[in-house]
Amino acid sequence: MRTHYCSTVNTEHIGQKVTVAGWVASRRDHGGIIFIDIRDNDEVVQLVCDPNDSKDAHKIAEDIRDQFVIIATGVVRARGEGLENPNLKTGKIEIVVDKITVENKSLTMPFELGDSKVNEEIKLKYRYLDLRTPKSHKIFKLRSKVSIIARNTLDSLGFMEVETPILTKSTPEGARDYLVPSRVHNGEFYALPQSPQLFKQLLMVSGFDKYFQIAKCFRDEDLRADRQPEFTQIDVEMSFCNQEDVMKVTEKLLSDVFNGCGFDVPQTFDRITYNEAMEKYGSDKPDLRYDLSMVDMIDIFARCDNAIFANIAKDSKKNRIKALKVPNGDNIFSKRQMQGFEEFVKQFGAGGLGYFQMKEDGLKGPLTKFFSEDDLKAIIDRCQLSLGDVVFFGAGSKKLVWDYMGRFRIFLANEMNIIPENRFEFVWVVDFPMFEVEDGRTKALHHPFTMPRLDENGQITYEDIEELESVAYDIVLNGYEIGGGSIRIHKEEIQKQIFNLLGIEKEEADEKFGFLLDALKFGAPPHGGFALGLDRLIMIMTGSSSIRDVIAFPKTQKAQCILTHAPSIVDEAQLDELALRIKKTNKDVK
């Protein structure tokens, strides 16, 4: 139907007849000569419909409107002097049309394509139109390229692509499962996989040395700007490996992807421990594009005359007093602003937020009266303060201070507009705790199949269960966890110990994970792997504000598809086949 894509028509084709096809981006009538910008999935090229060249084509062009689908044939010519468009790849030429056909008409558009002010729900309702923009096409071309590079890199490293089941057993991994009722097995349900975790481990037991898959995953959880109920991950597993082996493969994959897409990133990435990340940045996914970091002050505050701080400082294991220096902050923020920052941290549970200002005659601030001259000097030295600097500090229980001071760090960086654009800062976070305790319950920080760090005798030993480390690692990019993994448990007795520490009784373990425990008895090799969140990765690479921008047909934050009206009510006959009845809940009563 066409001889060329719009983007391929150039000055080399001047004098040649070409045929292009696409959508009408705009139409202009200049004194009887009609100019049409036609766009395909690549680019725009200008058509000229002059009655002196073709009366038939001109007559058809008179009735053409925006977003009509057309095919046009004509001769390429150079644009007139001063009429070139440097903003277009095809800006030096135009096509003088001698034949044009309308393949389909279009209703008036419900919104102007590319208008960022249009309500998102309207754009999602007409997602097929929203995707018609050059911006969307650029995103999905990049996404396709990333997938191709990832496949090629993993293939070159000897990995085999294997698909794992979508209909599987419910084995919750932290979020709720999406359940699918079985028509054949009355009262029983499949689950959509939250990840291919267990199947890829079974593939290692099967002797598949290196596996990968670009996998769909499903989690019924509360949604945020960077989360969707269904998402895609680049999933990798390998046998006879240690942490270093897995991290090298991940670095090779990511550097190939980024450099292959025109970005300059290093071949290897920096590393910090989980504890260092929390102590310095208040987050296990720190954004290292800017330098703000926290300093421990608990020993200095232990000597102050303020009873609250002194009491907090008594237990340096459970509590923290952290300082966050803002260079030249005295000239950036007013006193009123600095006092107002307290309201920001209070919404995350902070009791308050203190600050000192570095003046010519020393530290100033509401709390300096509680410190001796020696301790004020110690604060200056510890925080490396210079004239005009401001240092904020927070105090309380360890996890609380980490959380609100980490959030405050991000808040300050945005307030000061110091986060550089078009820069990628990767960092590995390693040595994660194996467990966390919440409300008296022990939970796996990653998942229960992660190998704990064993002692020299290959045993699990600890004094405080929250201090037992795992052989787990996350890869962080610009403050987002884009992936992670671990070395897996490959011995049945260790896996049973972990289930026991998590409060999973033998009967429950056998019922949910019996197939895995059985497999571990048959010579499971040491193995490990990782998974990269493809959607989140593309979001960062394209500078998109929401993960919905990089998924062709995404769900809303209420997990709905406005385009297809999913989820929806099904008819009684379908429910009868499944032997299901709908139970009314309070939220159904209006």
Could you give the 3-state DSSP secondary structure of residue 356? Answer: strand
Residue 197's identity, in one-letter code, is Q
Tell me the H-state helices in 25-71.
55-62
Residues 501 and 450: beta-carbon distance below 8 Å: no
CA atoms within 13 Å, Cβ hemisphere of 155? 8
Task: Point out which residues pair with 441 in neighbouring strands.
Answer: 438
Is 481 annotated among the ligand-binding residues? Answer: yes
Q: How far apart are CA 557 and CA 372, in angstroms?
A: 52
Q: How far apart are CA 3 and CA 177, in angstroms?
A: 49
Is 219 annotated among the ligand-binding residues? Answer: yes
Residues 215 and 235: beta-carbon distance below 8 Å: yes
Residue 342's identity, in one-letter code, is E
Is 534 annotated among the ligand-binding residues? Answer: yes
Is 533 annotated among the ligand-binding residues? Answer: yes
Residues 133 and 116: beta-carbon distance below 8 Å: no
Q: How far apart are CA 353 and CA 340, in angstroms?
A: 9
Is 271 annotated among the ligand-binding residues? Answer: no
Is 527 annotated among the ligand-binding residues? Answer: no
Residue 430's identity, in one-letter code, is V
Q: How far apart are CA 410 and CA 287, in angstroms?
A: 8
Residue whose C-alpha is closest to residue 485's, from 529, 448, 527: 529
Q: For residue 261, with 0-12 CB atoms within 10 Å meaning exposed, 13-18 middle and 19 or more buried, which class applies?
A: middle
Rg (CA), the chain: 30
Q: Is the peptide bond before 286 cis (omega within 30 degrees of 0)?
A: no
DSSP 164-196: --SSB----SSSBPEEEE-SSSTT-EEEE-S-S
Is 343 annotated among the ligand-binding residues? Answer: no
Report the chain's terminal Cα–Cα distance, integer Å. 55
Residues making up the binding site for ATP: 219-221, 228, 481, 533-536
Residues making up the binding site for L-aspartate: 173, 219, 446, 488
Residues making up the binding site: 173, 219-221, 228, 446, 481, 488, 533-536
